[in-house]
Amino acid sequence: MATRTPLTRERVLEAAVALADRDGLAKLTMRGLAADLGVEAMSLYHHLPAKQALLDGVVETLLTEVSAAVAAEDEKDWRAHLRNQFLKARRVMLRHPWAPGLISSRTSVPPTVFAYYDGIVATLVRAGFDYHLAHRALHAFGSMPLGFAQEIFTVGETGGDSEADMAAMAQALPNITAMVASEIHNVTDPTLGWCDTQTEFEFTLDLLLDGLERKRKG
Protein backbone atom coordinates (compact mmCIF):
# COMPACT_ATOMS: atom_id res chain seq x y z
CA MET A 1 0.00 0.00 0.00
CA ALA A 2 1.43 3.29 -1.12
CA THR A 3 2.21 5.68 1.69
CA ARG A 4 0.62 8.97 0.80
CA THR A 5 2.97 11.76 -0.24
CA PRO A 6 2.78 14.42 2.41
CA LEU A 7 1.00 17.71 1.92
CA THR A 8 2.94 20.84 1.20
CA ARG A 9 1.86 24.34 0.45
CA GLU A 10 2.88 23.85 -3.16
CA ARG A 11 1.00 20.60 -3.56
CA VAL A 12 -2.10 22.21 -2.08
CA LEU A 13 -1.87 25.22 -4.37
CA GLU A 14 -1.35 23.11 -7.46
CA ALA A 15 -4.34 21.00 -6.53
CA ALA A 16 -6.35 24.16 -6.02
CA VAL A 17 -5.51 25.41 -9.50
CA ALA A 18 -6.34 22.02 -10.96
CA LEU A 19 -9.66 21.95 -9.14
CA ALA A 20 -10.59 25.42 -10.35
CA ASP A 21 -9.62 24.47 -13.90
CA ARG A 22 -11.80 21.39 -13.71
CA ASP A 23 -14.87 22.58 -11.80
CA GLY A 24 -14.68 26.35 -11.68
CA LEU A 25 -13.80 28.80 -8.96
CA ALA A 26 -17.06 28.39 -7.05
CA LYS A 27 -16.28 24.74 -6.46
CA LEU A 28 -12.91 25.55 -4.93
CA THR A 29 -13.89 24.86 -1.34
CA MET A 30 -11.74 23.73 1.53
CA ARG A 31 -13.54 20.40 1.81
CA GLY A 32 -13.53 19.79 -1.92
CA LEU A 33 -9.88 20.63 -2.20
CA ALA A 34 -9.04 18.40 0.74
CA ALA A 35 -11.00 15.57 -0.83
CA ASP A 36 -8.99 15.92 -4.03
CA LEU A 37 -5.87 15.57 -1.94
CA GLY A 38 -7.20 12.56 -0.05
CA VAL A 39 -7.30 14.46 3.20
CA GLU A 40 -9.70 16.19 5.57
CA ALA A 41 -10.50 19.87 5.28
CA MET A 42 -8.88 20.94 8.51
CA SER A 43 -5.58 19.42 7.48
CA LEU A 44 -5.14 22.19 4.96
CA TYR A 45 -4.92 24.66 7.79
CA HIS A 46 -1.53 23.30 8.77
CA HIS A 47 -0.16 24.61 5.51
CA LEU A 48 -2.31 27.68 4.98
CA PRO A 49 -3.76 29.90 7.69
CA ALA A 50 -7.10 30.62 6.01
CA LYS A 51 -8.93 30.49 2.73
CA GLN A 52 -7.85 34.02 1.92
CA ALA A 53 -4.30 32.77 2.06
CA LEU A 54 -5.20 29.89 -0.20
CA LEU A 55 -6.55 32.30 -2.78
CA ASP A 56 -3.51 34.51 -2.44
CA GLY A 57 -1.41 31.44 -2.99
CA VAL A 58 -3.38 30.49 -6.06
CA VAL A 59 -2.82 33.94 -7.54
CA GLU A 60 0.84 33.58 -6.70
CA THR A 61 0.99 30.21 -8.45
CA LEU A 62 -0.76 31.68 -11.44
CA LEU A 63 1.74 34.44 -11.61
CA THR A 64 4.60 32.04 -11.50
CA GLU A 65 3.06 30.42 -14.54
CA VAL A 66 2.76 33.79 -16.25
CA SER A 67 6.33 34.70 -15.43
CA ALA A 68 7.53 31.41 -16.83
CA ALA A 69 5.52 31.90 -20.00
CA VAL A 70 6.89 35.38 -20.66
CA ALA A 71 10.43 34.66 -19.57
CA ALA A 72 13.55 36.06 -21.10
CA GLU A 73 13.38 37.15 -24.64
CA ASP A 74 15.82 39.61 -26.09
CA GLU A 75 14.58 43.11 -25.73
CA LYS A 76 13.84 44.73 -29.04
CA ASP A 77 11.55 47.72 -29.30
CA TRP A 78 9.79 48.21 -25.95
CA ARG A 79 6.41 48.19 -27.60
CA ALA A 80 6.92 44.88 -29.35
CA HIS A 81 8.41 43.53 -26.18
CA LEU A 82 5.51 44.38 -23.91
CA ARG A 83 2.98 43.50 -26.55
CA ASN A 84 4.50 40.09 -26.86
CA GLN A 85 4.66 39.69 -23.14
CA PHE A 86 1.05 40.63 -22.51
CA LEU A 87 -0.14 38.33 -25.26
CA LYS A 88 1.78 35.48 -23.74
CA ALA A 89 0.24 36.26 -20.38
CA ARG A 90 -3.10 36.14 -22.09
CA ARG A 91 -2.46 32.60 -23.27
CA VAL A 92 -1.96 31.60 -19.66
CA MET A 93 -5.22 33.23 -18.65
CA LEU A 94 -7.07 31.42 -21.42
CA ARG A 95 -6.01 28.21 -19.77
CA HIS A 96 -7.53 29.42 -16.49
CA PRO A 97 -10.74 31.22 -17.38
CA TRP A 98 -11.62 31.71 -13.72
CA ALA A 99 -8.36 33.53 -13.01
CA PRO A 100 -9.30 37.07 -14.08
CA GLY A 101 -12.31 36.94 -11.81
CA LEU A 102 -10.22 35.77 -8.92
CA ILE A 103 -7.44 38.27 -9.44
CA SER A 104 -9.70 41.26 -9.71
CA SER A 105 -11.66 40.21 -6.66
CA ARG A 106 -8.52 39.99 -4.59
CA THR A 107 -7.92 42.88 -2.23
CA SER A 108 -4.34 42.11 -1.26
CA VAL A 109 -1.58 41.63 -3.77
CA PRO A 110 0.97 38.81 -3.38
CA PRO A 111 4.64 39.83 -3.67
CA THR A 112 5.02 37.80 -6.84
CA VAL A 113 2.68 40.20 -8.60
CA PHE A 114 4.75 43.17 -7.50
CA ALA A 115 7.85 41.49 -8.78
CA TYR A 116 6.22 40.91 -12.11
CA TYR A 117 5.21 44.54 -12.43
CA ASP A 118 8.68 45.59 -11.39
CA GLY A 119 9.97 43.97 -14.54
CA ILE A 120 7.52 45.96 -16.61
CA VAL A 121 8.64 49.20 -15.03
CA ALA A 122 12.20 48.18 -15.81
CA THR A 123 11.33 47.71 -19.46
CA LEU A 124 9.63 51.09 -19.63
CA VAL A 125 12.45 52.91 -17.93
CA ARG A 126 15.05 51.29 -20.16
CA ALA A 127 13.00 52.47 -23.11
CA GLY A 128 13.31 56.04 -21.95
CA PHE A 129 10.18 56.53 -19.91
CA ASP A 130 10.60 58.74 -16.91
CA TYR A 131 9.11 57.38 -13.72
CA HIS A 132 6.11 59.60 -13.93
CA LEU A 133 5.04 58.37 -17.32
CA ALA A 134 5.91 54.80 -16.41
CA HIS A 135 3.57 55.11 -13.47
CA ARG A 136 0.81 56.43 -15.69
CA ALA A 137 1.44 53.63 -18.13
CA LEU A 138 1.05 51.05 -15.40
CA HIS A 139 -2.34 52.41 -14.50
CA ALA A 140 -3.35 52.63 -18.14
CA PHE A 141 -2.42 49.01 -18.77
CA GLY A 142 -4.67 47.93 -15.96
CA SER A 143 -4.79 44.17 -15.99
CA MET A 144 -3.47 43.73 -19.50
CA PRO A 145 0.00 42.74 -18.27
CA LEU A 146 -1.74 39.81 -16.62
CA GLY A 147 -3.36 38.90 -19.88
CA PHE A 148 -6.92 40.04 -19.51
CA ALA A 149 -9.07 43.11 -19.83
CA GLN A 150 -12.28 44.11 -18.22
CA GLU A 151 -15.13 42.54 -20.14
CA ILE A 152 -18.50 43.94 -19.24
CA PHE A 153 -20.54 41.93 -21.69
CA THR A 154 -20.17 38.23 -21.17
CA VAL A 155 -21.38 36.94 -24.45
CA GLY A 156 -22.23 33.43 -23.39
CA GLU A 157 -25.79 33.06 -22.27
CA THR A 158 -28.10 34.21 -25.00
CA GLY A 159 -30.32 31.33 -24.07
CA GLY A 160 -33.99 32.14 -24.35
CA ASP A 161 -34.19 34.90 -26.91
CA SER A 162 -37.30 34.30 -28.89
CA GLU A 163 -37.99 36.27 -32.03
CA ALA A 164 -40.24 38.52 -29.96
CA ASP A 165 -37.41 39.24 -27.53
CA MET A 166 -35.13 40.02 -30.41
CA ALA A 167 -37.61 42.46 -31.81
CA ALA A 168 -38.07 44.10 -28.43
CA MET A 169 -34.33 44.39 -28.09
CA ALA A 170 -33.99 45.96 -31.50
CA GLN A 171 -36.52 48.51 -30.39
CA ALA A 172 -34.86 49.29 -27.07
CA LEU A 173 -31.28 49.11 -28.29
CA PRO A 174 -31.32 50.35 -31.87
CA ASN A 175 -27.66 51.29 -32.02
CA ILE A 176 -26.24 48.17 -30.49
CA THR A 177 -28.54 46.06 -32.61
CA ALA A 178 -27.39 47.81 -35.75
CA MET A 179 -23.79 47.47 -34.68
CA VAL A 180 -24.07 43.76 -34.07
CA ALA A 181 -25.90 43.28 -37.35
CA SER A 182 -23.24 45.18 -39.22
CA GLU A 183 -20.43 43.31 -37.53
CA ILE A 184 -21.93 39.91 -38.20
CA HIS A 185 -21.87 40.54 -41.92
CA ASN A 186 -18.26 41.57 -41.93
CA VAL A 187 -16.61 38.86 -39.93
CA THR A 188 -13.66 37.38 -41.74
CA ASP A 189 -13.81 34.14 -39.81
CA PRO A 190 -17.45 33.28 -39.16
CA THR A 191 -16.54 30.54 -36.71
CA LEU A 192 -15.40 33.09 -34.19
CA GLY A 193 -18.74 34.67 -33.58
CA TRP A 194 -19.00 38.39 -33.69
CA CYS A 195 -16.76 39.17 -30.74
CA ASP A 196 -13.23 38.01 -31.43
CA THR A 197 -11.78 38.63 -28.01
CA GLN A 198 -8.23 38.09 -29.16
CA THR A 199 -8.53 40.79 -31.80
CA GLU A 200 -10.23 43.18 -29.38
CA PHE A 201 -7.51 42.60 -26.85
CA GLU A 202 -4.80 43.34 -29.37
CA PHE A 203 -6.62 46.41 -30.62
CA THR A 204 -6.92 47.91 -27.17
CA LEU A 205 -3.36 46.99 -26.34
CA ASP A 206 -2.02 48.66 -29.47
CA LEU A 207 -4.13 51.70 -28.79
CA LEU A 208 -2.46 52.05 -25.41
CA LEU A 209 1.03 51.26 -26.59
CA ASP A 210 0.82 53.72 -29.47
CA GLY A 211 -0.57 56.41 -27.23
CA LEU A 212 2.17 55.89 -24.67
CA GLU A 213 4.87 55.89 -27.32
CA ARG A 214 3.64 59.24 -28.50
CA LYS A 215 3.76 60.59 -24.95
CA ARG A 216 7.23 59.19 -24.47
CA LYS A 217 8.57 60.98 -27.50
CA GLY A 218 7.37 64.20 -25.99
Per CB under 7 A, does 24 bind DNA?
no
Residues 31-60 that bind DNA (CB under 7 A): 31-32, 34, 38-43, 45-47, 50-52
Q: Minimum distance from CB of 9 to DNA (Å)?
A: 10
Q: For a copy of itself, which is the closer residue by CB, 7 or 78?
A: 78
Say which entry of a copy of itself, DNA, none residue 136 contacts (CB below 5 to 8 A, set by partner kind). a copy of itself
- DSSP for the chain reads -PPPPPP-HHHHHHHHHHHHHHH-GGG--HHHHHHHTTS-GGGGGGT-SSHHHHHHHHHHHHHHHHHHHH------SHHHHHHHHHHHHHHHHHH-TTHHHHHHH-SS--HHHHHHHHHHHHHHHHTT--HHHHHHHHHHHTTGGGT----S---S---S--HHHHHHHHHH-HHHHHHHHHHHHH-SSGGG-S--HHHHHHHHHHHHHHHHHHHHT-
Per CB under 7 A, does 83 bind DNA?
no
Burial 4-21 (b: 16+ CB within 10 A, else e): eeebebeebbebbbebbe
Q: Tell me which of 75, 182, 192, 198 binds a copy of itself, using CB under 8 A.
A: 182
Q: Minimum distance from CB of 175 to a copy of itself (Å)?
A: 4
The answer to whether 67 touches 85, Cβ cutoff 8 Å, is no
Say which entry of a copy of itself, DNA, none residue 73 contacts (CB below 5 to 8 A, set by partner kind). none
Task: Give CA–CA dist 37/4, Å, rounded.
Answer: 10
Q: Minimum distance from CB of 58 to DNA (Å)?
A: 12
Per CB under 8 A, does 53 bind a copy of itself?
no
Q: What x-and-dash track marks residues 114-153 binding a copy of itself by CB under 8 A?
A: xx-xxx-xx--x----xxx-xxx--xx-xx--x--xxxxx
Q: For a copy of itself, which is the closer residue by CB, 43 or 123?
A: 123
Say which entry of DNA, a copy of itself, none residue 135 contacts (CB below 5 to 8 A, set by partner kind). a copy of itself
Q: For DNA, which is the closer residue by CB, 26 or 164?
A: 26
**Residue ranges binding DNA (CB under 7 A):** 4, 6-7, 27-32, 34, 38-43, 45-47, 50-52
